[in-house]
């Protein structure tokens, strides 16, 4: 089969790889769509110099084979089902996994291809093998939507750990792809209002069209100071945490979803956190219960209109270089590869 390998900055090629065969508890999935996320863009741009590497972890496709232990097992996806797949390799043994916090599994993630190439998902391929327990059927959802299962699970994780409840006043800082998924999910879960903050007027206009209650630049957001119950920071830029804390009402939660520069330090007034019962919560990745939530929303179709707005372009696997080029040179939400 073919698998895409990033060999250096600006360079990606298709390599031959033996087609995987499912073990007793596995499924073989023919990849229909794989999203290019921040990690893939950083690899292609040279910002994450790990080469050669086979990326791609936002994967959906159709089950074409199932191992004997799971074929026909009630609840397991069956041959012919469209599935969204979790390609993390949680160990189940480390202290984080034993606490039920498998998003923070302490065993290194990933693997290798047959020739030793590092695999970070290797979903930019014709097929992937996945444990059946990590594949979730998505019913009649389009493949493009099903490929958003992983980022949607990450957002479900963010909303769950952030404690957002129906009736809360919410702000999302950052109107990119993940910010838009936060907007969609919080609206669906009954937020009283969802504001969106960004520096791009184009993205703010898109967010307003997608149902945001209000939008504004960081300067505009001062009009909403001290009025928000949950603030999700999906763009980890300098100044974002300070902005979020300024928006927070008493007993509010600030959720740090987006990655920040590793050397960034921000002064926080502990007495204000104490007296106003503020919570600052970090969230990272996703866990199995978040996948179940995401798959349920995909199957139901309730987010279909929101997800349609987020597909910027679709390319075949043989056009993977063109897909990377678009994703790294133009403003996009999601560029999909596969089929």
The CATH number linked to 42 is 3.90.180.10
Q: Examine residue 302 and state whether it is found in any structural domain, yes or no.
A: no
Residue 108, pLDDT score = 84
Choose one of 240, 262, 282: the last residue of a domain. 282
CATH of the domain at 163: 3.40.50.720
Residue 298 lies in a domain: no
User: Same domain, yes or no, for 107 and 196?
Assistant: no
**Domains of the chain: total:** 2
Is 83 inside any structural domain? yes
Instruction: Evaluate whether residue 297 is within a structural domain.
Output: no
Residues 6+ apart with CB under 8 A from 259: 38, 236
What is the Cα–Cα distance from 11 to 287, expressed in whole angstroms?
Answer: 32
Per-residue pLDDT of the chain (339 residues; tens, 9 = 90+): 999 999 999 999 999 999 999 999 999 999 999 999 999 999 999 999 999 999 999 999 999 999 999 999 999 999 999 999 999 889 999 999 999 999 999 998 889 999 999 999 999 999 999 999 999 999 999 999 999 999 999 999 999 999 999 999 999 999 999 999 999 999 999 999 999 999 999 999 999 999 999 999 999 999 999 999 999 999 999 999 999 999 999 999 999 999 999 999 999 999 999 999 999 999 999 999 999 999 999 999 999 999 999 999 999 999 999 999 999 999 999 999 998
3-state SS track over 270-328: HHHHHHCCCEEEECCCCCHHHHHHHHHHHHHCCCHHHHHCCEEEEECHHHHHHHHHHHH
Is there a single domain that holds both residue 117 and residue 168? no
Same domain assignment for residues 46 and 174? no
Specify the pTM: 0.97
pLDDT in tens, 18-33: 999 999 999 999 999 9
The predicted pLDDT at position 86 comes to 97
**Any domain includes 287:** no
Predicted local confidence at residue 120, as pLDDT: 95
pLDDT recorded at residue 269: 94
72 CA to centre of own chain: 30
Q: Are residues 49 and 127 in the same domain?
A: yes
Tell me the pLDDT tens digit for each residue of 206-235. 999 999 999 999 999 999 999 999 999 999
Same domain, 183 and 315: no
Closest CA to 12 of 34, 35, 40, 38: 40
User: How do residues 60-111 score in pLDDT, each as one tens digit?
Assistant: 999 999 999 999 999 999 999 999 999 988 999 999 999 999 999 999 888 9
How far apart, in Å, do the first and last CA atoms of the chain sit?
13
Same domain, 138 and 96: yes
Residue 289 counted as domain residue: no
Looking at the fold, whether 9 and 119 belong to one and the same domain comes out as: yes
Predicted pLDDT of residue 181: 98
Q: Is residue 299 part of a domain?
A: no
Q: Is residue 61 located within the same domain as residue 139?
A: yes
295 found inside a domain = no
133 and 116 in a common domain: yes
Structure tokens at 154: 């990450």
Domain around 316: 2-148+310-337
Do residues 15 and 32 both lie within one domain? yes
Is 278 in the same domain as 324?
Answer: no
Do 184 and 202 sit in the same domain of this protein? yes
């Amino acid at each position: 089969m073919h698998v895409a390998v990033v060999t250096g900055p600006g360079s990606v090629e298709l390599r031959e790889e033996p087609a995987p065969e499912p073990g007793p508890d596995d499924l073989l999935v023919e990849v229909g769509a794989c999203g290019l996320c921040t990690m893939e863009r950083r690899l292609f741009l040279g910002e994450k110099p790990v080469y050669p590497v086979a990326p791609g972890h936002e994967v959906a496709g159709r089950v074409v084979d199932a191992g004997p232990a799971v074929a026909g097992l009630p609840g397991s996806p069956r041959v012919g089902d469209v599935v969204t797949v979790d390609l993390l390799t949680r160990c189940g043994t480390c202290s984080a996994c034993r606490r039920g916090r498998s998003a923070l599994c302490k065993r290194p993630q990933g693997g290798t291809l047959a020739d030793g190439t590092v695999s970070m998902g290797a979903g930019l391929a014709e097929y992937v093998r996945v444990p059946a327990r990590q594949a979730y059927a998505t019913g009649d959802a389009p493949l493009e939507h099903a490929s958003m299962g992983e980022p949607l699970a990450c957002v479900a994780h963010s909303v769950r750990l952030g404690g957002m409840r129906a009736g809360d006043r919410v702000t999302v800082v950052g109107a990119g792809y993940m910010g838009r998924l936060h907007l969609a999910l919080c609206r669906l879960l009954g937020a009283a209002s969802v504001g969106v903050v960004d520096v791009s007027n184009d993205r703010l206009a898109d967010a307003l069209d997608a149902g945001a209650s209000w939008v504004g630049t960081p300067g505009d957001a001062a009009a909403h100071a001290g009025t928000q119950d949950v603030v999700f920071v999906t763009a980890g830029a300098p100044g974002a945490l300070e902005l979020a804390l300024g928006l927070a009402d008493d007993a509010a939660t600030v959720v740090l979803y987006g990655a920040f520069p590793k050397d960034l330090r921000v002064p926080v007034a502990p007495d204000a956190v104490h007296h106003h019962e503020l919570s600052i919560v970090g969230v990272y990745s996703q866990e199995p219960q978040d996948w179940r939530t995401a798959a349920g929303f995909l199957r139901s179709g309730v987010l279909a209109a929101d997800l349609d707005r987020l597909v910027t372009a679709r390319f075949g696997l043989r056009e993977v270089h063109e897909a990377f080029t678009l994703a790294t040179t133009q403003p996009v939400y999601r560029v999909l590869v596969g089929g």
